[in-house]
Amino acid sequence: MFDRDVFRTRLRELRKQAGESQAQLAKVIGVSTNQVSEMEKGTKTTTLERFYSICAHYNVSADYLLGLREEENDTKRGIS
């Protein structure tokens, strides 16, 4: 089952590790700063297309962001 807490926590950690503001991430994935804030609070999620953009932007696997893996990158199938 989808765990919003894992998604929101990992998204925020990745953004902070990259030294980005919510506004910078919002611009990359094509949403408002408020939408990034809502994703990080766990009150909203995002579309599959934007989810893919987040994974590609931070070079992490979807499994990591969803909490299915502990490693940021899947060595067998990475996102190009």
Indicate whether 53 pLDDT > 50: yes
The 10s digit of each residue's pLDDT in 13-39 is 999 999 999 999 999 999 999 999 999
Q: Report residue 13 as tokens.
A: 């950690």
Question: Taking all residues of the chain, what is their mean pLDDT, rounded to a whole number?
Answer: 89
Query: Which residues, in sequence order, are CB contacts of 46 under 8 Å at separation 6+?
Result: 29, 31, 35, 39, 54
Q: How confident is the model at residue 77 (pLDDT cuts 50, 70, 90)?
A: very low
**Model confidence at 59: pLDDT above 50:** yes
Rg (CA), the chain: 12
| 79 has a pLDDT exceeding 80 | no
pLDDT at 72: 65
